[in-house]
Amino acid sequence: MKHFHAIFIITLVSILNLDAKDTAHVEYKYSNVMDIPDLSFLNNVYTGLDILEQMDFNPLKNKSIAILTNQTALNRSGKHILDLLKGVQNVNVLYILSMEHGLWGIDDNRAKMIGRDQIDPIHGAQIIDMHKTYLTPPKWVMNDIDIILVDFQDTGSRYTTYLATLSKVFESAHDYDIPVFVLDRPNPIKGDVVDGPVPRTEFQSFESYHLLPIRHGLTLAEICLIVNEMGWIKDLKRVELNIVPMSGWKREMWFYDTKLIWRKLTPSILDEETLLAYNGMDLFRGTNLNIGFGTDKPYMIIGAPWLATSFFINKLNDQNLPGVIFKKITYRPSGSIYHARVPRYDGQSCSGIEIVIQDKNLFQPLKTATTILILMQQLHPRELQWEKNDYIDKLFGTNELRISAAQNKSPDYIPSLWLQDVYRFYEFRKPFLLY
C-alpha cells in the first residue's frame, strides 16, 4: 500500500511539472494529437470519426488496417465506420478486432461464419475475438497490417474490460512497430466529474486495469494519452499514437447533450441514465444481490428474496442522498438468450428497491451504492454475502469497502476514503486534457 502511494505521488509530482496550458499547443513525447479544422461555429459535436471522414480518410489511404471497434462507432448521421470505409478507395480493412460483447453487441446478426471464422460481409474482413479467443492480436494479423484504427464509445467508467483489451492491442502494436490511430468520442457521463478510488496495485484486474478512479472524467483518447505517455503498458511499452480529436465537445456535456446517436454500450447499459447508475451499482456484482439482470431495468433495481424492503427503504431515505429517490418493488428475474449467464435468483420472486434518478447532476452513483451496501450489511449481516475471492475488492479497487462494511462503519465514512485519490487524480490528469 505504501509502495503504491509512493509511486503515485512521484508520478504526480513529475507530471505536474509539465506545462498545463492550452493542450492544443502541448507537444507530447510519444503521442501526436492531430490538428483539426475549427468547427465551433457549427455548434455541433463532431467525433474523431466525423473529423476523419471530413479528411476523406487520407491517413488510411494505401494502408492495410485492423480496426478495434464495436456497434457504437457511428458518425453523426448514424453510419457505422465499417460502412463508411467500404466507400473509400485504397483502404484495405483486413481484420476487425472485437471486444467483450462482440462486434455488434447482442444484435450480432451481420457477421457470417466461414468455417471456424467470423467474417464481416461488407469487407470480407476476418473478425478476431479479443475477449474469449485471443488476449493479444495474433502474429499473423500483425504481420499483415500497416495501421491499427481504434473507434468505440467508452463508458466513462473503469469497470468495463474495453480498456484492458485496448491496452493489449497497444502491447502488440509496440512489439510489431505498428502505428495506432485513435478516434476520440465524448465521455458519456460528463468530463468534469471524477469520483471513486484509484485501484491499489494488488487489486488490479481486467476490470480495473489502469490506475483510474471508477468515474474518471476522461475521453478515450485522453486515457490513451496517459497510458502511452506514462508507460502504463507492460514493460513501459509505448506506441506511435496518433489521436484524431473531437470538435465542439465540452466537458460539462452529458451524452444526450451532444445530439449524437446512442447505441447500447453493453447489452445491459440501455441508456444514459442506466450508465450513470452503473458507475455505482456495478459494485453489487461483487455480492449475492440481483441488480436488475433478467429485467428491463438493469442497474436500476436491486433485490433478493430475503430483503426486508420496507424497513430498508426507510433507513435509506433517512440518508437524504441527493438527486435520487427509492421505490419498493417486487420482481421476478428471467434469463435471456442474449446473456451467457443466468441472472441471480432466476425465476424467483425478489423484494427490491428501484433507483429513481430525479436530478442526474446531483445524483452521486458511488455514494448511493456504497450507502446501500453498508446499510444492507447492517440489516442483513447473515444473508448478504460477498462473491468468491472477494471480487468486490477488484471492482472497488481496494478492500476498504468490504472491511468498512464488516466494521459496521457509518455510510458517510466510506466516501471520505477516496477523496484524496480524487484530488490527486484530478490534478494528475490536467496535462492530458484535450478539451
> Can you count the helices (H) and strands (E) in the chain?
13, 12
| Contact (CB, 8 A) for 110 and 120 | yes
Give pLDDT, residue 340. Answer: 64
Give pLDDT, residue 25. Answer: 54
Give pLDDT, residue 178. Answer: 98
Give pLDDT, residue 338. Answer: 56
Nearest in space to 239 (alpha carbons), one of 150, 328, 324, 313: 150
Q: Where are the alpha helices (DSSP H) in 176-219?
A: none
Give pLDDT, residue 55. Answer: 94
**Chain centroid offset of residue 390 CA:** 22
In this structure, the chain runs to a length of: 435
Which residue has cell 509539465?
18
Q: Where are the domains of the chain?
A: 15-264+425-432, 272-398
* Residue 247 burial class via C-beta count within 10 angstroms: exposed 0-12, middle 13-18, buried 19 and up: buried
Give pLDDT, residue 15. Answer: 38
Give pLDDT, residue 102. Answer: 87
**Which residue stretches of the chain have pLDDT < 70?**
1-25, 106-116, 337-340
Give pLDDT, residue 132. Answer: 85
CATH 3.90.1150.140 fits domain 272-398: yes
Report yes or no on whether pTM surpasses 0.75. Answer: yes
Give the integer Cα–Cα distance in Å for 160 and 327: 28
Give pLDDT, residue 424. Answer: 96
CATH of domain 15-264+425-432: 3.40.50.12170
Give pLDDT, residue 344. Answer: 95
Nearest in space to 326 (alpha carbons), one of 276, 362, 372, 287: 372
